[in-house]
Amino acid sequence: MGNDQDLWTALVEAERQLARARAEFYQRAEGRSEVLAAALQGPSNWDRGTALAFLGKIPDDVPELLDQLVENATSHAWALVARRAIAAGRRELVTPLLRRIVRERLETADAEDYRRLAELLRHMNDDEALGELVRRAADLEDPDMQEVARDFAR
Average pLDDT (66-90) is 96
Domains, the chain: 31-152 (1.25.40)
Whole-angstrom Cα distance, residue 137 to residue 147? 8
pTM metric for this prediction: 0.92
Give me the pLDDT at residue 130, please: 98
Whole-angstrom Cα distance, residue 136 to residue 154? 14
- pLDDT category at 1 given cuts 50, 70, 90 is low
Give me the pLDDT at residue 2, please: 72
Give me the pLDDT at residue 126, please: 97
SS3 of 88, please? helix
Give me the pLDDT at residue 72, please: 97
Produce one character per residue of 23-54: b if its CB has 16 or more CB atoms within 10 Å, e if not.
Answer: eeeeeeeeebeebbbebbeeeeeebbebbbeb
**pLDDT digits over 19-39, tens only?**
999 999 999 999 999 999 999
**pLDDT digits over 127-149, tens only?**
999 999 999 999 999 999 999 99
**Cβ-based neighbours of 78, under 8 Å, separated by 6 or more:** 48, 49, 52, 72
Helix 32-41 vs helix 45-57: crossing angle, to nearest 10: 130
Classify residue 134 by burial, with Cβ atoms within 10 Å: 0-12, 13-18, 19+: buried
